[in-house]
A = this chain, B = another copy of it.
């Protein structure tokens, strides 16, 4: 058993990140400490965070406050913002991981800012050029990990291979799939189908030693044919937003078709069931920044305190399963099969 399993996870929480910051992140942090899940380092603007902390009974809970100044906004170009705001919450929080004060950092703030801070301070895993984001997106396949979902819009085939390794290790250690089946999202399952990028990537996957099942198509995302689905961030982001949009669209259609035909409370409970079944993006609390050399978890901006607590649980699993060490090992092994 990994040693850390009996130790309290040390987690840095970006109190300035998310739509309901700092109140919701602070509440979640205190709750995580209270439930014995973690020792928390709450990072944020002093006056704002102290005011929130005053609302809770801290006593001798393992809750620390670490001051920062300012935050990276969603609409800021991340790299520039990091240079202009060296004391921003996400930088201070990520630095706690770098200097080993914390085992992991969690933010519900700017995705770009969180990723950029992780790259700058923790670095990328050797063999990975740029990090990716990923996770499940289709309700009918909640254990399917799709990456990249929007960070890398122009990918070389070898980058896709790297994502395949990261997704594969994640699926094994965090989702619990024994020998994850890897599929490359393309336009036909036959060998040799695809665009230039996917055809070249397919060749790399074939000789990678990974459990590559070949090309999969758009409809295969719904049945969960592959445990790990690889695509570039352009395609992944279109797919992510289309799935979200279609889910909402179907719900509206259904609601209109059934209105007045079944009792309102039945309709409401049906819609709630459908929402629960299909809202897999938030269910895990967030996802790791794939490919950086440390545990950095990104969540949705509108996350509730409960969602952030689940993110703490995810961070704990990443640490307990030695996710980053395994990713380093596997990437190094698989990337050695690539010639260029």
A residues bordering B, Cβ < 8 Å?
A: 138-140, 150, 153-154, 185-187, 194-196, 198, 217-223, 231-235, 237-246, 248-250, 252-254, 257-258, 261-262, 266, 270, 273-274, 277-278
Measured between C-beta atoms, what is the minimum distance from A61 to chain B in Å? Answer: 41
Taken together, the copies of this chain in the complex come to: 2
Q: Which residues of B contact A273 (CB under 8 A)?
A: 257
Q: Whole-angstrom distance between the alpha carbons of A258 and B257 in the complex? A: 14
Q: Which residues of B contact A261 (CB under 8 A)?
A: 262, 266, 270
Q: Which residues of B contact A241 (CB under 8 A)?
A: 217-219
B231, B242, B257: which contacts A274 (Cβ < 8 A)? B257
B150, B194, B266: which contacts A187 (Cβ < 8 A)? B150
* Pair B249/A222 contact, Cβ less than 8 Å: yes
B140, B185, B248: which contacts A222 (Cβ < 8 A)? B248
* Pair B195/A222 contact, Cβ less than 8 Å: no
Q: Whole-angstrom distance between the alpha carbons of A129 and B292 in the complex? A: 42
* Pair A254/B253 contact, Cβ less than 8 Å: no
Measured between C-beta atoms, what is the minimum distance from A74 to chain B in Å? Answer: 11
Q: Which residues of B contact A238 (CB under 8 A)?
A: 185-187, 217-218, 231, 235, 238-239
Q: Which residues of B contact A154 (CB under 8 A)?
A: 195-196
Q: A254-B254, A274-B257 are in contact. Are A195 and B242 (CB under 8 A)?
A: no
A238 closest partner in B (C-beta): B218
* Pair B246/A258 contact, Cβ less than 8 Å: no
Q: Which residues of B contact A266 (CB under 8 A)?
A: 261
Measured between C-beta atoms, what is the minimum distance from A224 to chain B in Å? Answer: 10
* Pair A218/B198 contact, Cβ less than 8 Å: no
Q: Whole-angstrom distance between the alpha carbons of A244 and B222 in the complex? A: 10
* Pair B194/A219 contact, Cβ less than 8 Å: no
A270 closest partner in B (C-beta): B257
Measured between C-beta atoms, what is the minimum distance from A269 to chain B in Å? Answer: 10
Q: Whole-angstrom distance between the alpha carbons of A166 and B249 in the complex? A: 28
Given contacts A139-B253, A258-B270, 15 further A-B contacts (CB under 8 A): A140-B252, A150-B187, A153-B187, A186-B238, A187-B233, A195-B232, A217-B237, A217-B238, A217-B241, A218-B239, A221-B242, A223-B249, A238-B238, A238-B239, A253-B274
A192 closest partner in B (C-beta): B77
Q: Whole-angstrom distance between the alpha carbons of A241 and B235 in the complex? A: 13
A198 closest partner in B (C-beta): B234
* Pair B218/A237 contact, Cβ less than 8 Å: yes
B233, B234, B249: which contacts A235 (Cβ < 8 A)? B234
* Pair B242/A218 contact, Cβ less than 8 Å: yes
* Pair A242/B219 contact, Cβ less than 8 Å: yes
Q: Which residues of B contact A253 (CB under 8 A)?
A: 139-140, 274, 277-278
* Pair B245/A242 contact, Cβ less than 8 Å: no
Q: Whole-angstrom distance between the alpha carbons of A241 and B273 in the complex? A: 25
A277 closest partner in B (C-beta): B253
A262 closest partner in B (C-beta): B262
Q: Which 5 A-B pairs have the closest CB atoms?
A: A219-B245, A218-B241, A218-B242, A222-B245, A153-B195
Measured between C-beta atoms, what is the minimum distance from A240 to chain B in Å? Answer: 7
* Pair B222/A240 contact, Cβ less than 8 Å: no
Measured between C-beta atoms, what is the minimum distance from A184 to chain B in Å? Answer: 11
